[in-house]
Structure 1
Amino acid sequence: MLNLTAPGAAGLSGRIDMASSGAVLAPLASLAAQGPLRLDLSGIEAADSAALALLLEAHRVSAAAGHRLTLSGVPAGLSSLASLYNLEPLISSGE
């Protein structure tokens, strides 16, 4: 689930996996395109590779719009998954 917490700030929570990431993709991409965005991931309870794909797309949209996407509160499981896929720079941006 995607929650707007303040202007330029949002959080992801719950399970971010293949079943749920599709519903989050468009709203997250829209936020990333509007301006710099700080995304808090500390509310994520479980994540799979679809969560990484979601974050990659958010980074792509943000960069294409000339904005910065920063991540905070990256759960250990998501960090391990990013390491497995050699995507540490994606997860460490903003930490």
Structure 2
Amino acid sequence: MIERCNGGLRVTVPMTMANARGLLDAGRSALQAGEQVVDLSAVAEVDSSAIATMLGWLREADRVRSTLKFKAIPPAVLSLAEVYGVSELLPRA
């Protein structure tokens, strides 16, 4: 679901409603203090729950005093974030 890769985290499953709760929990568990990058290049399928999951990770990162950035955000997520007016809340690596 989420694996450690090159000093960061890599999502390996679709970011859809079916996986949202598991991804949120896995991401929260994987976060550590300091700067971390979440690589989304392997994510082939997304829906609006991807944004909710990413925002949940950012809240947890703030709580554990971590800086979280996203790499290779899928175009569909960027498009949805723009529509929802939250694209500036998703920091990019």
The structure that is helix-richer by fraction is 1
TM-score class, shorter: 0.7 to 0.9
The structure that is strand-richer by fraction is 1
Q: What does 1:1-95 correspond to in 2, within 5 Å? A: 1-7=1-7, 9-32=8-31, 34-35=32-33, 36-91=35-90, 93-95=91-93
Between the two proteins, the alignment pairs up a number of residues equal to 92
Partners of 2:25 and 2:74 in 1: CA distance? 23
TM-score for the superposition, normalised by structure 1: 0.86
Partners of 1:53 and 1:17 in 2: CA distance? 10
Q: CA RMSD in A?
A: 1.4
Point out 4+ residue stretches in structure 1 off by more than 6 angstroms. Answer: none
Instruction: Name stretches of at least 5 consecutive residues in structure 1 with no aligned partner.
Output: none
Instruction: Name stretches of at least 5 consecutive residues in structure 2 with no aligned partner.
Output: none
Contact 1:17 1:47 (8 Å CA) reproduced: yes
Between the aligned residues of both structures, percent identity stands at 24
What is the CA-CA distance between 1:4 and the residue it aligns to?
A: 1.3
